[in-house]
Structure 1
């Protein structure tokens, strides 16, 4: 996935501590400039770690300036292909991983094959096989291939965030099982409280839908969907359960009917403002919740009743094929993979891929990383629902909104998901 909270931003954050402007604002750059795009907020774990990486890069590359441009996730998601086909492309960019995004751009020749650099710099030794899957693509643009088109320096997964004070205020037990979770939501509804903070305008709602389906699925089901290893039936037990349960949660008042128009940022802000007892979303929120929430006790848990959760490597560093300063881009990636930067990321609420475990001293950060390791140990990272098909993100947003507003039945929504998937499968020869 991807990373949230910054969706639909169209600003360029020219932050003095991170940027010294040089050259003109047009396309291209110079040998003394590294043009960097990413969409992590400054208070996020990645934002903090990468700000330090920029400082270290400029300290170790005298005369070279990092020109950092902050983009919104949605902005890059929708415009990357056009930008990378122009002279506006940066030298280094954070990008979403998966067949529909990095895979598609690699197939189109818009990303640099970094295989030789990965081996030479030893990045492959730092990343587990499960994390490497989203970095490597074949000639069809399908992940799990043999060529490296991206490198992550963090990992991510989805979980349940909860407001412990709201649970205590309403005398509701913090759930340990799926049945406990349902019972808790019933108690909140009875008290006039909508249990779940949900954003249906962007990724959060579709990820909850997928998580419900995952609770009835297995790893083969995931591999069939994501890597085209077997036939996918969108009316099987898992997909049907996911769609019907999501629709039922709306009818029962667990999910607000107004959430179809709520974006990810508003969802997170509402939870952090103490307005909802539960939010199901990703570890990318963790550092921000940790630094923002001061007036109530909160915690997290893996989604109960499921061995799998959405998750993977984090978004990946990609080097556009048109980059004029590829060596500088590789040097910056290298800094983000070093122990010092990894440790900072881990202590700031992120999930590092190459930190020193003994250096992670924050207790909540330890819990975050331990839960991630639990998922890894049981092979429970199930990627994201929009990955298999180019343009599938928008299909899923629309389909999930229909479950929220009741404009389509679960069966009709599943038909809506099946069509583009089958069409894409024919195109890639899966």
Structure 2
């Protein structure tokens, strides 16, 4: 998901006291002499996953396996916060205290930037030697590969993703049954379901205008009329993007139509992503179309109704990508140990753990997972991953574009004209693309 939506929805909010407690050791690490690691004897590992979450459990299992297969090697694991690594990565990785392997965010402004600055190891030979490129689809590996300008989709691997993320549909099965609404299979039946719920007095779609959900919806609607060339032009600058062309124009027009019909509630313009998820959890809205990052929480929070997941039926592509990834700093002292650890995280055993605990493994098939609802989730991702259906996120192409997207969508929800909204989307994008090199 976008950097901002990661911060908002997936990264756990720490109290001020906790943050201060974590900042001190980070600063000490940046200024230290780097004597903690002995060549070939210590693996220094950082990640920022929530304790007890699917990925944390998987990485803990990987650490245990690493210790068994590397007797005599000490593992020094430090759990950082997403914000710590995001804000201080350049300084840390350019010091003698760089870890051997760490989890880092994908994208041009993060992994791409550090790769361009020479702070990350080119993992291409390692990826090919271990066959990781055969386990990760071309579509899911775009955000792991960068060119000399630090732009994704290049020919050199600077990261290795272990999981995927994407936007899909969540359905309240009990409400569908109660009101006799059929599960949609295409855009026409999706709109028919929206109309039937609205006729019964229910606003069908969960939404939030004050963060990413509403702008994610706008991009998803544009994908309804788009193809892969359009996505590559927009995301990878392979061609010109026309914001007044049929894709974006249809998206804004359809969004306005759904607002007028009451499928979206205009009052949602000021809501946050957490408010949107609460609309679904509290059974106030029967449909939520958003990221798989809500899936794990829903398995614990929803007690009073039956729910399911499925690919969004209105488009053959969706927002999504490979997840955050393992990177190896150029100044890492024990790169071979880092390579061995990454290989363990790509094993069937660890990948299955990711899937059974509610996340999306990138290297196992749905039929290898026993949890029925998790199998639905992974099956949906698998469909997109292997049909070039992951179209990334709308704010990725331009630094600072997230705020512009949220503002434009809020203006749309407040009644701005189609041309006004399209102009707001176009201005920062066109300005950046015209000057990016």
Q: Which moved more, 1:225-234 or 1:258-267?
A: 258-267
Deviations 1:121-160 (A, max 9, x none): 4322322222222211111222221221111011232111
Give the Cα–Cα distance (whole angstroms) in 2 for the partners of residues 404 and 48 of structure 1.
Answer: 41
Q: What is the CA distance between 1:328 and its match in structure 2? A: 4.8
Contact 2:43–2:100 (Cα < 8 Å) also in 1 = no
Q: 2:82 aligns with which of 71, 74, 77?
A: 71
1:260 to 1:147, Cα distance in 2 relative to 1, 3 A: same
1:24 to 1:138, Cα distance in 2 relative to 1, 3 A: closer
Report the RMSD for the aligned CA atoms in angstroms: 3.3
Partner of 1:317: 326
Contact 2:90–2:114 (Cα < 8 Å) also in 1 = no
Q: How does 1:173-252 map onto structure 2 within 5 Å? A: 173-252=182-261
Contact 2:93–2:329 (Cα < 8 Å) also in 1 = no
Deviations 1:184-229 (A, max 9, x none): 2233334443322223333222211100000011111111111212
Give the Cα–Cα distance (whole angstroms) in 1 for the partners of residues 370 and 244 of structure 2.
Answer: 46
Asked if 1:296 corresponds to 2:305, the answer is yes
* TM-score with structure 1 setting the length: 0.85
Deviations 1:244-298 (A, max 9, x none): 2223333333223343333323322442333321111122323332344232111
Q: What is the CA distance between 1:80 and its match in structure 2? A: 5.7
1:106 to 1:159, Cα distance in 2 relative to 1, 3 A: same
Q: How does 1:317-396 map onto structure 2 within 5 Å? A: 317-321=326-330, 326-355=335-364, 359-396=368-405
Q: What is the CA distance between 1:308 and its match in structure 2? A: 1.4
Give the Cα–Cα distance (whole angstroms) in 1 for the partners of residues 324 and 367 of structure 2.
Answer: 25
Gaps of at least 5 residues in structure 2 are none
SS in 2 for 1:222: helix
Give the Cα–Cα distance (whole angstroms) in 2 for the partners of residues 143 and 55 of structure 1.
Answer: 33
Bigger helix share: 2
Contact 2:216–2:319 (Cα < 8 Å) also in 1 = yes
SS in 1 for 2:218: helix
Give the Cα–Cα distance (whole angstroms) in 2 for the partners of residues 226 and 307 of structure 1.
Answer: 17
Contact 1:201–1:261 (Cα < 8 Å) also in 2 = yes
Q: Which moved more, 1:138-147 or 1:50-59?
A: 50-59
Q: What is the CA distance between 1:414 and its match in structure 2? A: 1.7
Larger radius of gyration: 2
Q: What is the CA distance between 1:25 and its match in structure 2? A: 5.2
Give the Cα–Cα distance (whole angstroms) in 2 for the partners of residues 401 and 329 of structure 1.
Answer: 44
Contact 2:205–2:263 (Cα < 8 Å) also in 1 = yes
1:145 to 1:23, Cα distance in 2 relative to 1, 3 A: closer
Give the Cα–Cα distance (whole angstroms) in 2 for the partners of residues 192 and 94 of structure 1.
Answer: 46
1:257 to 1:82, Cα distance in 2 relative to 1, 3 A: farther
